């Protein structure tokens, strides 16, 4: 949940409870529909769609749901028209937030996101208000047991990645958003499975949060945003260790 801790986000997603599983499926369906609409319904020729199908499989999303979402994107089945919108704002303590939304009603989405910010001590900003604090790039998170640093460096850089960052949790491959599909294909061909792959907003500077009350306010905004049906992903730049996050949630 902490904005800076990419791996905490992955662990949290994997531990999703049954009560939230329907929302996860809904978000994946929207992403799959948009990917199929943009790049076609054949996963062999659409790396973004392939990546999402793997995510859906990992989340135990029924294959019929995936197939329907693809057909809605290709126009084979009727469906609502979704738009992708990015909102920016500041949360408690000046933490920067970027909220990616997929919606069939822009007015509703804007009202709900604005309300979440205002009720949690934050403020919704204009386009560009906080984006300069983030790197908009492709991001692949890969556990250490899946490969070695040397092997990953060779594969990723040859495919057009910009950097491979190593931490105690694993490897993070970063690339230009236009190189995302090529890097995804290169990793897939070598059998290297990503624990999470997405076009992300990666904070270039972070705001340390050590006070439990401040952490609680920030996590309250995360929860409020993530509860919204139209919200797909939330990025933020707080730096909070797991102990503080756990205390804030207690």
The fraction of the chain above a pLDDT of 90, given in percent, is: 68
As a whole number of angstroms, the distance between CA 62 and CA 198 comes to 21
In three-state secondary structure terms, 241 is coil
Q: Are residues 90 and 130 in contact, defined by beta-carbon separation less than 8 angstroms?
A: yes
Q: What is the pTM of this model?
A: 0.85
Give me the chain's average pLDDT, please.
Answer: 89
pLDDT, tens only, 196-211: 888 999 999 999 999 9
pLDDT, tens only, 11-29: 655 555 455 667 888 989 9
Which alpha helices (DSSP H) does the chain contain, by range? 6-14, 18-39, 47-58, 63-74, 106-119, 149-158, 180-189, 212-226, 242-249
In three-state secondary structure terms, 177 is helix
As a whole number of angstroms, the distance between CA 47 and CA 184 comes to 7
As a whole number of angstroms, the distance between CA 183 and CA 206 comes to 27
As a whole number of angstroms, the distance between CA 15 and CA 7 comes to 12
Let me know if 80 is exposed, middle or buried by CB neighbors in 10 A (0-12, 13-18, 19+): exposed
pLDDT, tens only, 120-131: 999 999 999 999
Domains of the chain and CATH, by start: 14-74 (1.10.10.200), 84-130+205-245 (3.30.70.980), 133-203 (3.30.70.980)
Q: What is the pLDDT of residue 235?
A: 94
Phi-psi region of 178 (alpha: psi -120 to 50; beta: other; left: phi over 0): alpha
Indicate the pLDDT class of residue 248, thresholds 50, 70 and 90. Answer: confident
Q: What is the pLDDT of residue 158?
A: 96
Q: Indicate the DSSP class of residue 15.
A: T
Q: Are residues 227 and 208 in contact, defined by beta-carbon separation less than 8 angstroms?
A: no
pLDDT at 8 over 70: no
Q: What is the pLDDT of residue 7?
A: 65
């Amino acid at each position: 949940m902490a904005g800076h801790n990419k791996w905490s986000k992955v662990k949290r997603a994997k531990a999703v409870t049954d009560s939230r599983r329907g929302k996860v499926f809904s978000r994946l369906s929207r992403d799959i529909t948009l990917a199929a609409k943009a790049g076609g319904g054949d996963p062999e020729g659409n790396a973004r769609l392939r990546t999402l199908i793997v995510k859906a499989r990992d989340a135990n999303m029924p294959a019929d749901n995936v197939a329907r979402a693809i057909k809605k994107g290709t126009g084979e089945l009727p469906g609502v028209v979704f738009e992708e919108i990015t909102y920016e704002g500041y949360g408690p303590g000046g933490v920067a937030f970027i909220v990616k939304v997929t919606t069939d009603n822009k007015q509703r989405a804007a009202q709900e996101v604005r309300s979440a910010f205002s009720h949690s001590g934050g403020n919704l900003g204009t386009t560009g208000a906080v984006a300069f604090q983030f790197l908009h790039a492709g991001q692949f998170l890969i556990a250490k047991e899946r490969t070695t640093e040397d092997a990953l460096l060779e594969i990723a850089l040859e495919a057009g990645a910009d950097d491979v960052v190593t931490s105690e949790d694993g490897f993070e491959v970063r690339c230009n958003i236009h190189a995302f599909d090529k890097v995804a294909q290169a990793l897939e061909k070598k059998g290297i499975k990503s624990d999470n792959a997405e076009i992300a907003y990666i904070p270039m500077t972070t705001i340390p949060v050590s006070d439990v009350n401040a952490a609680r306010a920030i996590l309250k905004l995360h929860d409020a945003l993530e509860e919204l049906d139209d919200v797909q992903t939330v990025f933020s730049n707080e730096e909070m260790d797991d102990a503080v996050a756990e205390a804030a949630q207690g």
